[in-house]
């Protein structure tokens, strides 16, 4: 199943049409996406039998972030070998975790203001959406706690991220609009192999990042095991799983996002988000 947020309402997508979950369920579910995620198994059951006649055409650029207000957002640094190498850091022995504060979340077509520092960078990432509470979950059982995937950009202001005396990953990656996600929440049964998806990022039409999610150092189940050993993961929580090689800061000379740039991030079988940038 493919779901989305249109105008703050959770919908099921059916080709170019959508079914409003709150309307079709006569208020049993939704319209708030997080409220649907809170009852994800019940919703899946209902969705199997929903009358698909009440469909509305989806207008272009109509989508908001599929989960606009998650309670927690986890993000993993240096989770692809080639990206760790370009950062001149040994691959970590355990996941390197930070947060992108939820107020930085925006939709898949958002125009994003660039901080005046001029050192904002791109990081395309596979984003996991949690579908059931997870506490002390083993990797073997972890997929049962996943609602699906979406596409995300871990936009990063490198100057603040790397400022001393200790790096400020969470704040540097949480400027207004620095967490675009979408366009759809895609359940795993839609994907031929959820553990091996092509992932790509293009800047003004040029491919700048390309990889496969099978190259993750810590895969999705081990991330859920690692995080849920510390605290409870809640429905609707997001996990940004890390970015492949090809970020701007690692280039010689470094390349940063400029006003007018267009950044397109794509994951096979999930979809594509597109950001344009402007001066703050
Ligand atoms: Zn990242």
- Domain-embedded: residue 67: no
- From 61, 82, 97, give the residue that closes a domain: 61
The CATH code of the domain that includes 178 is: 3.90.850.10
Q: How far is the CA of 86 from the centre of ligand 1 (A)?
A: 14
User: 144: CA distance to ligand 1 center in Å?
Assistant: 24
Give the DSSP letter string of 13-63: EETTEEEEHHHHTTTSS-SSHHHHHTTHHHHHHHHHH--TT--EEPPTT-E
* pLDDT of res. 263: 98
Domain of residue 56 covers: 2-61
- CA 55–ligand 1 middle distance (angstroms): 37
The answer to whether position 249 is within a domain reads yes
For residue range 192-235, what is the model confidence (pLDDT) as tens digits? 999 999 999 999 999 999 999 999 999 999 999 999 999 999 99
The H or E element that residue 279 is part of is: strand 271-279
pLDDT at 47 over 70: yes
Cβ 70 vs Cβ 238: under 8 Å: yes
Please count the structural domains in the chain: 2
pLDDT of residue 55: 82
Residues 225, 158 within the same domain: yes
> Is the same domain home to 55 and 144?
no
Same domain, yes or no, for 226 and 171? Answer: yes
| Residue ending a domain, choose from 16, 32, 61 | 61
Model confidence over 149-207: pLDDT tens digits? 999 999 999 999 999 899 999 999 999 999 999 999 999 999 999 999 999 999 999 99
Q: Answer yes or no: is pLDDT of 51 > 90.
A: no
Confidence of residue 42 (pLDDT cuts 50, 70, 90): very high
Greatest CA span in the chain, whole angstroms? 59
pLDDT score of 54 more than 80: no
> Do 91 and 41 belong to one domain?
no
111 and 273 in contact (C-beta within 8 Å)? no
Q: Say if residue 30 is in the same domain as residue 90.
A: no
pLDDT in tens, 78-130: 999 999 999 999 999 999 999 999 999 999 999 999 999 999 999 999 999 99
Contacts of 114 (CB under 8 A, 6+ apart): 120, 257, 258, 259, 277, 278, 279, 280
14 Cα–ligand 1 center, Å: 31
Say yes or no: 250 and 122 in one domain: yes
Per-residue pLDDT at 61 exceeds 70 = no
Other beta carbons within 10 Å of 23:
14
Residue 133 sits in the same domain as residue 8: no
SS3 at position 216: strand
Let me know whether 24 and 97 are in one domain: no
Report the share of the chain in percent with pLDDT over 70.
Answer: 100
Q: Is residue 15 part of a domain?
A: yes
Confidence check: pLDDT of 244 > 70: yes
Confidence of residue 53 (pLDDT cuts 50, 70, 90): confident
CA of 207 to the centre of ligand 1 (A): 18
How far is the centre of ligand 1, averaged over its atoms, from the C-alpha of 75 (Å)?
A: 6
Collapsed DSSP state (helix, strand, coil) of residue 6 = strand
CA–centroid distance, residue 243 to ligand 1 (Å): 5
What pLDDT is stored for residue 59 in this prediction?
Answer: 79
- Has residue 66 been placed in a domain? no
**Contact assessment for residue 72 and residue 239, using Cβ atoms and an 8 Å cutoff:** no
Nearest Cα residue to 3 out of 143, 144, 145, 131: 131
Determine the distance separating the centroid of ligand 1 and the alpha carbon of 225, expressed in angstroms.
Answer: 19
State yes or no: pLDDT of 271 exceeds 80: yes
Q: Which residues, listed in sequence order, are joined to residue 125 by a DSSP beta bridge?
A: 152
Check whether residue 45 and residue 142 sit in a common domain.
no
């Amino acid at each position: 199943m493919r779901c989305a947020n249109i105008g703050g309402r959770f919908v099921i997508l059916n080709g170019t049409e959508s079914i409003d979950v709150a309307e079709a369920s006569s208020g049993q579910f939704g319209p708030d996406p997080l409220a649907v995620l809170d009852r994800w198994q019940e919703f899946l059951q209902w969705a199997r039998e929903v009358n698909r006649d009440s469909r509305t055409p989806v207008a272009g650029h109509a989508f908001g972030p599929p989960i606009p207000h998650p309670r927690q957002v986890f993000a993993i640094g240096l989770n692809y070998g080639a990206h760790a190498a370009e950062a001149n850091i040994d691959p970590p022995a355990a996941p390197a975790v930070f947060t992108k504060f939820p107020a930085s979340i925006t939709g898949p077509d958002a125009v994003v203001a660039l901080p005046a520092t001029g050192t904002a960078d791109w990081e395309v990432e596979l984003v996991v959406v949690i579908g059931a509470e997870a506490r002390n979950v083993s990797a073997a059982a972890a997929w049962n706690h996943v609602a699906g995937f979406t596409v995300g950009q871990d936009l990063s202001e490198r100057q603040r991220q790397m400022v001393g005396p200790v790096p400020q990953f969470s704040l540097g990656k949480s400027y207004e609009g620095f967490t675009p996600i979408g366009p759809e929440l895609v359940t795993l049964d839609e994907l031929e192999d959820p553990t091996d998806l092509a992932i790509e990022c293009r800047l003004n039409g040029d491919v700048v990042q390309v990889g496969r999610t099978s190259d993750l150092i810590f895969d999705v189940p081990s991330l859920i095991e690692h995080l849920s050993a510390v605290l409870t993961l809640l429905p609707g929580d997001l996990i940004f799983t890390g970015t492949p090689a090809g970020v701007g800061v690692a280039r010689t000379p470094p390349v940063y996002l400029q006003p007018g740039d267009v950044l397109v991030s794509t994951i096979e079988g999930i979809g594509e988000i597109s950001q344009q940038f402007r001066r703050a």
